[in-house]
Amino acid sequence: MSLLQEERKIILGNEYVDNFDFAEVEDFVKNASKDLFISYNFKTKNKMLVQPRGGFPTYKKQFALNKFFVEANVDVLPLTIDSNTRLNDYATAKKMLRLSEENEIDMLNGYPLVNHGYRTTRKMITHFNKPVSLRHGTPDARLLIETAIASGIFEIEGGPITYLLPYSKNFPLDKAFLYWKYVEKVCANYSKLNEPINRESFGPLTATLVPPAITIAIQLLEMLLSLEEGVKSFSVSFSQTGSMNQDIVMGAVIKKLAKHYANEINCDDTTINLVYHQWMGAFPTNKDFAEQLINMSTVIASMVGADKIITKTREEASGIPTKEANAKTVASTQYTLGILNGLPNIVDEEEEEILTLEVKAIMEAVFNDEADTLWRKVFNSIKNGTIDVPFSPHIINHNEMITIRDANKNIRIIKRGNVPISDRCFEYEKSKCDLTKDTTSIVNDIIHDIGIMQ
Amino acid sequence: MSLLQEERKIILGNEYVDNFDFAEVEDFVKNASKDLFISYNFKTKNKMLVQPRGGFPTYKKQFALNKFFVEANVDVLPLTIDSNTRLNDYATAKKMLRLSEENEIDMLNGYPLVNHGYRTTRKMITHFNKPVSLRHGTPDARLLIETAIASGIFEIEGGPITYLLPYSKNFPLDKAFLYWKYVEKVCANYSKLNEPINRESFGPLTATLVPPAITIAIQLLEMLLSLEEGVKSFSVSFSQTGSMNQDIVMGAVIKKLAKHYANEINCDDTTINLVYHQWMGAFPTNKDFAEQLINMSTVIASMVGADKIITKTREEASGIPTKEANAKTVASTQYTLGILNGLPNIVDEEEEEILTLEVKAIMEAVFNDEADTLWRKVFNSIKNGTIDVPFSPHIINHNEMITIRDANKNIRIIKRGNVPISDRCFEYEKSKCDLTKDTTSIVNDIIHDIGIMQ
Amino acid sequence: MKVVTGVVGNDIHVVANRLIELSLHARGFEVFNLGVNTYLEEFFDAVVETDADILLISSLNGEAEGWSREIKILKSKYKNLDNLVMVIGGNLVVGTASPETIVPKYKNYGFDLVFHQVDLNTGLDTLEEFLKERNK
Amino acid sequence: MKVVTGVVGNDIHVVANRLIELSLHARGFEVFNLGVNTYLEEFFDAVVETDADILLISSLNGEAEGWSREIKILKSKYKNLDNLVMVIGGNLVVGTASPETIVPKYKNYGFDLVFHQVDLNTGLDTLEEFLKERNK
Ligand code: B12
Ligand code: B12
């Protein structure tokens, strides 16, 4: 038996798993409806796929949410996991699930997939016959992913960097890499049976003044780590920056470089798609305004040429959205995509060149790290600040880079820390900003820049 | 006394006018607050001005509507005139106004400005101290315009072509030209006293598959007719076509050509602004979708670089909008303009070249008409189909041109009738469309093309 | 079969009218389209002149009701209009109202078929069925 | 004056926390920022260690109430915290609720100043006034 298979047996021998039948699951994946695979939908549906966010504790409520989404003409269903499961605390999740089922009140902020188990969950997924995207934020997602695929969930979001740096303060980064390596392998193996399982990275990160070069470098590195293990369908992603032009430039550069680096490791047979997140930063409290913002995000996603869009709701600033608000966004987004026509072809050569140079400089620095494997190189690069994510709460993050918005609201790097962008690029970035201001005004500008959509 | 002044005396001696005091009105205009002049607002406000649509019969209701608009952060107030006044039927307007005042029900579909008189109306206008745009649709607007300017309304919409071809079946076009000549002269004369009075043309026309070349030619001709009389501030306009790229191309070409033709007649001292109308065609009945459409219009207006945007409401498909729906659009549009940043620079050289050639060909044909004055040349050109407006209800319109949408929803000319676009341009237009289809399918396509936003 | 059509009153919304002409043609009717801005007398005169079987009126801007009240009186002045099929469609009120209140009202004004905010093709399909039933 | 600040519980929303540190500095406070994901004991330990005058807690993800219930018991285990000014702000409930119900509740938990969905600068202005009043 392979080492991986032994590890799988241990993982799936967990007391909260009710007899994982490897053969049956393999058989299920092999014969599963192609409609369940987002990779198949990307290939066959000639449109931007629309995916909302959402998850409820009980089967009944989750089923109702999905029904609502399907009626609103959704393309991809989300399944958001509760935070106990994310922390592998299945005991608490179990207790809270029972309480949620017995009373009418939700005691979990998502769907406790492991506790529901794959036999139950698969019923729901095959019933709706739509591709499902697993949204979690779990550093050790091994059991979760096994259960997800066994349930018919064939898109797995996250990654060792993107699910850690924005979501955690203390979880050890090296462990995250190893746990995700397992995930990639499992996805890769199942991909041989039917259409490929899709992996998706979480590009929004902290959604707060993250410069495009950092986002893209991280997307590419998570993609490479995944492709190394044999994944054949991968989605890179990013969220609205606040500048339409910067979004379009980012879209062009990330598409080009993803292809480039995939080819470099001889993975030209891998399909790479682009996912765009509607504005992920601070939302306006006025719900009508929130809808304007959401609509504008959809327009920009079209200009970026995204293959999938992940939506927000009018209730973002206040709390967990109702299923009505969520479904409304889906219907509106579909309508907007349908009426938005005659997209112009936009190329900003100078911005694309600068961004490409920046990303390549970071990638090269990572590759040049003396460690033996890619994940160790990436680990070291994060630790030494070659990769630096603004506003990450994680202790390992370097926190030396400072970014600000220029007059057109493009995010610009005004202090590079250890991020190895060239002098030419750095001068270009700074030249766009007014740096004659004193520190207090710059700090005020940053505060203002965080709240630009409010 | 000049001929014009004699005509003015006759016009203003109308029994529904209560003692028009020429000297007092001149004095009022001379000393009026600059804020009331949209021409001044264009110069000083560094943003796209937002103007809704709306008009109610009674002073009280109109005042309330304006208050609502101001609270929603409006830039330009509209004053829409009722249809009796538009037909110069002041007697009926008077009766209906009294009925509206006595009961709580509105018996007019707009504000009967002549009956209210300038002394009353001026109180409202100076109270809010915002520029007001007069929206009517009147072929003989002489008395209306005099009353408007005396009231403090310093922007006059319309024109002999744009207020006739979409709005009337039988009104004689030659008379319309003469009545509008009076309007231009009065505007020009008052413009010498303070900031200039602004004239605005109505670019949407029938809002139904009008090809850009026709819209722009008509805009330019109305501009020239106005500038000839001495108007110093003019707005050309058009409405959303259904293709973002076509809108952007139209914006670029109309700005360039307006400048060009104004210079040709030595009017380089005239300020020309660009106004964009949110989608003017058939609206979706779903009000949430209508809001998406409106938001998208705002985004496109920004990309077009419009100086003013005229808004629609979520209730467009069902009936006259409530003041709440109207104010909501204003607030949302302002919000969207505020958060939309980093506009890319878009140039489509080929489309711009073709469109420029088409417009110039039409203009040249008009100028080459053997008549002695510009208005007569234009009159002849409309009559002989050099200018042909699709879906115009007017008997004089040629109705020979056929347009259809291409795959990107650009409006394309597939039958040119007498419109003198060159073979090269015509072949270009047709090359974008699938013309192998049979007539029935093409007719079905046209029906579909009219309803693209539904 | 012959159809007289047009948009009633001071209404100048011409788009639907053009489409109606095309659709009726496509369905094999002989069409006499009076266009927009057509008054009731003009409609009936045209019916008499062309010996039409059907009068199909559109209204979009909300004016229809004001005019429809006069139909019965007017129609009674003409002879031989008893077999005329009368159809109306479009946006039949100012503001909003439900078909439940609108349809009976207009039937009472003398229309055989009433289509408030009904899609053109649905309406014309219904018309053709109605004619089939009638000629059985 | 010394302030201990941070985000309580498992909450990792760090943006406001960074801004708070900047603003407090700019206003002349000596700041000890424990960052996100900070438990109550850690807050009180830091107050004791630094001899802080003010404890300023943030909460964004809705967790605050769960933790606040334990404040009184916990605080009573420490000595000399009677003069500590306790402030909390951010998004203090899951979902929505009005300040009228939230503020008294949190005052009861032991906070002197409570800012639910209140802008940072408004909150800090109020804090400074509160301190002035107190030291009169
Ligand atoms: C385009 C348009 C215009 C253009 C018209 C150009 C032209 N000459 O045709 C312009 C800009 C000039 C214009 C002017 C005005 N308009 Co206008 N216009 C519209 C708009 C946006 C679209 C109409 C359209 O072309 N639709 C496409 C066609 C294909 O659809 P349709 O007309 O709805 O017809 C469909 C059905 O009704 C049906 N149908 C029609 N007839 C029949 C008959 C039968 C038998 C059947 C079965 C079906 C059927 O078939 C069609 C296809 O499904 C509508 C709002 C909307 N619907 O979105 C307002 C609208 C109709 N206009 C309105 C008004 C008030 C006016 C004005 C009076 C004032 C103004 N707002 O400026 C003026 C003057 C018009 C006048 N004197 O009548 C109102 C009417 C209000 C009401 N009914 O309560 C509307 C609803 C806008 C609003 N919310 O205020 N308008
Ligand atoms: C950015 C963001 C994230 C980023 C965070 C990156 C990071 N590490 O900081 C990411 C994407 C990682 C994220 C993750 C999650 N998030 Co989040 N996130 C947001 C978002 C969009 C903006 C928050 C923000 O940065 N605002 C900008 C700062 C400057 O403003 P602020 O935080 O609101 O603080 C202001 C005031 O509150 C005040 N203030 C704060 N503290 C104090 C203290 C005092 C004394 C005073 C006077 C004032 C004050 O001052 C600030 C400036 O005015 C909000 C929604 C929104 N508000 O639009 C959701 C939101 C806060 N997140 C939410 C949730 C549930 C989560 C998750 C649990 C699940 C998920 N949705 O994925 C995860 C996990 C987080 C965890 N374990 O805690 C919910 C909270 C629900 C609730 N309270 O009922 C929100 C409201 C979104 C929603 N509608 O669901 N999130």
Residues of chain B with pLDDT under 50: none
d(CA B222, CA B200): 9
φ/ψ bin of C38: left (φ > 0), alpha (ψ from -120 to 50), beta (otherwise): beta
Are D and B neighbours with ≥3 CB pairs closer than 8 A?
no
| pLDDT attached to residue A276 | 98
Q: Is C62 on the interface with B (CB under 8 A)?
A: yes
What are B361-394's pLDDT values in tens digits?
A: 999 999 999 999 999 999 999 999 999 999 999 9
Query: Taking CB atoms and an 8 Å limit, are B341 and A247 in contact across chains?
Result: no
d(CA D52, CA D8): 17
Q: Is D131 on the interface with A (CB under 8 A)?
A: no
Q: Is the dihedral of CA B214, B215, B218, B221 positive or negative?
A: negative
Do A361 and A425 touch, CB atoms closer than 8 A?
yes
Distance from CA of A451 to the nearest CA of B (A): 10
Using DSSP bridges, classify how beta strands B411-415 and B402-405 pair: parallel, antiparallel or unpaired.
antiparallel
- Counting beta carbons within 10 angstroms of the beta carbon of residue B116, is it exposed (0 to 12), middle (13 to 18) or buried (19 or more)? buried
Q: Are residues B309 and B223 in the same domain?
A: yes
* Residue B344 within a domain: no
Do B130 and B70 touch, CB atoms closer than 8 A?
yes
Q: Are residues B320 and B376 in the same domain?
A: no
Do A223 and A237 touch, CB atoms closer than 8 A?
no
Question: Which chains pack against D, by 3+ Cβ pairs within 8 A?
Answer: A
Residue type, B253: V
Question: How many CA within 13 A on the CB side of residue D33?
Answer: 18
Q: Are residues A41 and A185 in the same domain?
A: yes
Check whether A191 has a pLDDT greater than 80: yes
Ligand 1 centre distance from Cα of residue C61 (Å):
6
Nearest residue to A348 via CA among B410, B344, B189? B344
* Residue A344 within a domain: no
Q: What is the DSSP letter of A196?
A: P
Tell me the residue length of chain A. 454
Q: What is the DSSP letter of A451?
A: T
Find the ligand nearest to B108 CA.
1
Q: Are residues B292 and B272 in the same domain?
A: yes
CA angle centred on A48, ends A161 and A203, rounded to 5°? 15
Q: Is B157 a catalytic residue?
A: yes
Kindly provide the b/e burial profile for residues B247-285, where b requires at least 16 CB atoms within 10 angstroms of the residue's own CB.
bbbbbbbbbebbeebbeeeebeebebbbbbbbbbbbbbe
Q: Name chain C contacts of B206, Cβ cutoff 8 Å.
A: 14-15
* Residue B242 within a domain: yes
DSSP B206-247: T-SS--HHHHHHHHHHHHHHHHHTT--EEEEEEE--S-HHHH
Residue among C15, C26, C95 whose CB faces B391 most closely = C15
Q: Tokens 């000890």: give the residue.
A: D32
Ligand 2 centre distance from Cα of residue D7 (Å):
11
What are D26-62's pLDDT values in tens digits?
A: 899 999 999 999 999 999 999 999 999 999 999 998 7
Q: Are residues B366 and B419 in the same domain?
A: yes
Q: Are residues B305 and B440 in the same domain?
A: no
| pLDDT attached to residue C95 | 67
- Counting beta carbons within 10 angstroms of the beta carbon of residue A273, is it exposed (0 to 12), middle (13 to 18) or buried (19 or more)? buried
d(CA D64, CA D43): 14
Residue type, C94: V
- pLDDT band at residue A391 using 50, 70 and 90 as cut-offs: very high
Between the CA atoms of B414, B419, B421 and B426, what dihedral angle is there, to the nearest 10 degrees?
10
Ligand 2 centre distance from Cα of residue D13 (Å):
5
Query: Taking CB atoms and an 8 Å limit, are B443 and C26 in contact across chains?
Result: yes
Distance set, CA D62 to CA B63, D94, D121 (Å): 45, 4, 21
Q: Which residues pair with B239 in a beta bridge?
A: B277
Do A343 and B244 touch, CB atoms closer than 8 A?
yes
| CB contact set of B407 (below 8 Å; sequence gap of 6+) | B432, B434
| pLDDT attached to residue D95 | 67
Do D112 and D85 touch, CB atoms closer than 8 A?
yes
Q: What is the largest CA-CA distance in chain B?
A: 67
* Phi then psi dihedrals of residue B270, to 5 deg: -85, 140
Q: Are residues B166 and B288 in the same domain?
A: yes
| CB contact set of D110 (below 8 Å; sequence gap of 6+) | D68, D71, D72, D75, D86
Q: Are residues A334 and A405 in the same domain?
A: no
d(CA C68, CA C57): 10
| CB contact set of A106 (below 8 Å; sequence gap of 6+) | A56, A57, A58, A61, A100
Q: Which two tokens stand for residue B244?
A: 């973002």
Q: Are residues B300 and B446 in the same domain?
A: no
Helices D15-26, D120-134: inter-axial angle, 10-degree rounding = 40
In the stretch 26-85 of chain B, residues with CB closer than 8 A to chain A read none
**What ipTM goes with this model?**
0.94
Q: Are residues B314 and B377 in the same domain?
A: no
Question: How many CA within 13 A on the CB side of residue D58?
Answer: 30
Q: Which domains does chain C have, with CATH numbers?
A: 2-134 (3.40.50.280)
* Residue A219 within a domain: yes
Residue type, B151: S
Residues of chain D with pLDDT under 70: 95
User: Could you give the 3-state DSSP secondary structure of residue C2?
Assistant: strand
Task: Return the CATH number at A129.
Answer: 3.20.20.240
* Residue A429 within a domain: yes
Q: Which two tokens stand for residue A424?
A: 């030419």
Q: Which two tokens stand for residue A281?
A: 């930063």
Q: Which two tokens stand for residue B150?
A: 């005396």
DSSP A379-420: HHHHHTTSS--TT---TTS----EEEE-TT--EEEEE-TT--
Check whether C98 has a pLDDT greater than 90: no
Q: Which residues pair with A155 in a beta bridge?
A: A133, A198
The protein residue whose alpha carbon is closest to atom 37 in ligand 1 is C90
Atom of ligand 1 nearest to the CA of C115: 47
d(CA C34, CA B389): 19
d(CA A222, CA A205): 13
Q: Which two tokens stand for residue D50?
A: 């630094």
Q: Which residues pair with B310 in a beta bridge?
A: B51, B277
Q: Which of A310, A339, A368 is the last residue of a domain?
A: A339
In A58-103, which ranges are E strands? 77-80
Helices A212-228, A374-383: inter-axial angle, 10-degree rounding = 150
Q: Which of A300, A319, A339 is the last residue of a domain?
A: A339
Q: Are residues B431 and B291 in the same domain?
A: no
| CB contact set of B446 (below 8 Å; sequence gap of 6+) | B209, B402, B404
| pLDDT attached to residue C84 | 94
What is the average pLDDT score of chain C? 91
Whether the CB of D89 sits within 6 Å of ligand 2? yes
What are A163-177's pLDDT values in tens digits?
A: 999 999 999 999 999
- pLDDT band at residue A147 using 50, 70 and 90 as cut-offs: very high
Distance from CA of B137 to the nearest CA of A (A): 29
Query: Taking CB atoms and an 8 Å limit, are B243 and A289 in contact across chains?
Result: no
d(CA C46, CA C36): 14
Q: Which of B339, B374, B389 is the last residue of a domain?
A: B339
Q: Are residues B368 and B273 in the same domain?
A: no
- Between the two ends of chain D, the Cα-to-Cα distance in Å is 16
Percent of chain A with pLDDT over 70: 100
CA angle centred on A312, ends A309 and A318, rounded to 5°? 170
Whether the CB of B87 sits within 6 Å of ligand 1? no
Kindly provide the b/e burial profile for residues A139-163, where b requires at least 16 CB atoms within 10 angstroms of the residue's own CB.
bbbbbbbbbbbbbbbbbbbbbbbbb
Q: How many domains does chain B have?
A: 2
Give percent helix, percent strand, percent coil of chain B, each to the nearest 5: 50, 10, 40
* Phi then psi dihedrals of residue B413, to 5 deg: -90, 120
Domain housing A101: 3-339
Rounded to an integer, the average pLDDT of A150-164 is 97
| pLDDT attached to residue D88 | 97
Of all residues in chain A, the one with the smallest CA distance to B411 is: A342
Q: Which residues pair with A239 in a beta bridge?
A: A277
